Amino acid sequence: MTAARALARIADKLQANERLDDSDGIFMLTEAPLTDLGRFAVEVRNCKSPADEVTFVIDSNPNYTNICVTDCAFCAFYRKPGHAEGYTLTVEEVMEKVGNAARDGATTVLLQGGHNPEIPLQFYIDLVTESLRRYPEVTPHFFTASEIHTMAKASDLTTREVLEKLRAAGQYSLPGGGAEILSDRVRMKVAAKKGGVDTWIQVHREAHELGMKSTATMMYGHIEEPEDIVEHWNHIRELQDLHHGFTAFVPWSYKRGNTPMQKYVEESGRKPAGAAQYLRILAASRLFLDNFDHVQATWFSEGKKTGVVALNFGADDFGGTLFEENVHLATGHDNKTTVEETKLLIEEAGFVPVQRTTLYERLRRFETAQPAV
C-alpha cells in the first residue's frame, strides 16, 4: 500500500469512528507525514475536550525510598540495599513533603519509591491514612504497579488484597509508572525483575475492578521497535475497554544519563529520542488509543518548548507542576516549573489554562494569568 493510501485509510477510519489496527499503528510510527498525524490528532482531541482549553494539575512527585532490588537497566535513581547513599524516609518525613506540597497549593502528590523488601505493608497504609488525615485537600496518587507487587511479596498477600487495603485506607488513584514498554521482549531486557507484561496489567486491572483509577504511561526511546509500541497500545486499549479505568496516557522518552543501559544503547548506535519522535508518538497514541479521554504533554521529560508544541499534536493536558522530582533528575535531566509559568506556557500555545484534579475534574479556568487557588 502506498503512503498516500495508508494515510487515506486512517482518515477514513477516523471519519467513521472505526478503530485503528496494527498496520495503521506501524505506519503512523514509521512513515506517516508528521503534520497530517498532528492534524488528525487535534481533530480527535477536540471531540473529547474543549478545543480552547488545556488542563494542568498542581502536584509534587517525592519519593519515600531509593533502595531497590530490581536493577532496571534504565534507572539512575536507585541504590542497592546497604549502599551509603540509600535512604528510606519515615512516615513523618514523607508527611513533611506532602505538607510542603499542600502549602504550595498541590491537590495531587504522586508518591513512589524503589522496591525495598524491608518495608512492611503497614508503612504504606500509614502513608495513605496520614496523608488524608492531615492534608485532605491532597489526593494520594501513590505507588506504581511494581510497588504493589513488592508490598504483596513482603506481606504474603495477593496484589488484589494489597489494593483492597489501600482502597480501604482511602486511596483511589494509582500512577502508571513502571509500564516501560508493555512487550515481554523489551521488559525482559530492560526490567527483567519487574516481570512480564501481565504483572503491570494485572495490578491496573484489579485496581480498576475495585473502582480505582490510574494512568497509563510508556517509556520509549531505548531498545523497542515500532511493533513493541503497537503491542503496548493494544494492551492498554484492551484493558481500557473493560473498565475505562485509565484517566490518561502519559508517554515519555528514556533519558540515558548515569543509567546502566547508557553504554549499551550508545554503542548500538541508537540516537536519543528527539522532539520529532515524541510528537509522532504523541499524535499516533491519541489516534490509536481511541478510548482514552486525555493525553498528557510531558514537558518535564521532553522540555517546555516541546511540551508546548505537543499541545498542537493531540495532547489536551500539560501534566503537573512537579514541585519535587528526583527520578529524571538522577539522569541529569533537570526541569522545573511553577504554577505561573505553567499557565503562561499554556497561554503561549494559544489555550486557556484550566486547573484540574487528579481525576481530571475541572477546578478553575484562568481567563488570564492569575494566582492559582
CB of 167 to ligand SF4, least distance (A): 23
> Is the CB of 70 or the CB of 285 nearer to ligand SF4?
70
Give me the residues that bind ligand SF4 (CB under 6 A), please: 68, 70-72, 75, 77-78, 114-115, 146
CB of 41 to ligand SF4, least distance (A): 29
Pairwise CA distance, residues 253 & 277, whole Å = 9
Helix (H) or strand (E) holding 26: helix 22-30
What proportions of the chain, in percent to the nearest 5, are helix, strand and coil? 45, 15, 40
Pairwise CA distance, residues 52 & 61, whole Å = 28
> Is the CB of 40 or the CB of 64 nearer to ligand SF4?
64
Tell me which residue of 370, 371, 311, 354 sits closest to 57, measured CA to CA.
354
364: which strand partners? 355
> Is the CB of 249 or the CB of 254 nearer to ligand SF4?
254
CB of 73 to ligand SF4, least distance (A): 9
Tell me which residue of 339, 345, 341 sits closest to 363, measured CA to CA.
339
CB of 80 to ligand SF4, least distance (A): 9
> Is the CB of 49 or the CB of 259 nearer to ligand SF4?
259
> Is the CB of 37 or the CB of 250 nearer to ligand SF4?
250
- Those residues whose C-beta lies under 8 Å from the C-beta of residue 155, and which sit 6 or more positions away, are 120, 121, 162
Q: 182 and 232 in contact (C-beta within 8 Å)?
A: yes
CB of 8 to ligand SF4, least distance (A): 41
User: Helices 34-48 & 275-288, crossing angle to 10 degrees?
Assistant: 50
Pairwise CA distance, residues 109 & 53, whole Å = 23
Q: 87 and 65 in contact (C-beta within 8 Å)?
A: yes
CB of 97 to ligand SF4, least distance (A): 17
> Is the CB of 72 or the CB of 354 nearer to ligand SF4?
72
CB of 322 to ligand SF4, least distance (A): 17
Pairwise CA distance, residues 150 & 75, whole Å = 17
> Is the CB of 14 or the CB of 197 nearer to ligand SF4?
197
> Is the CB of 10 or the CB of 75 nearer to ligand SF4?
75
CB of 153 to ligand SF4, least distance (A): 13
Cell 519487574, residue located? 194
Tell me which residue of 372, 110, 50, 341 sits closest to 363, measured CA to CA.
372
Strand 213-220 versus strand 246-253 pairing type: parallel
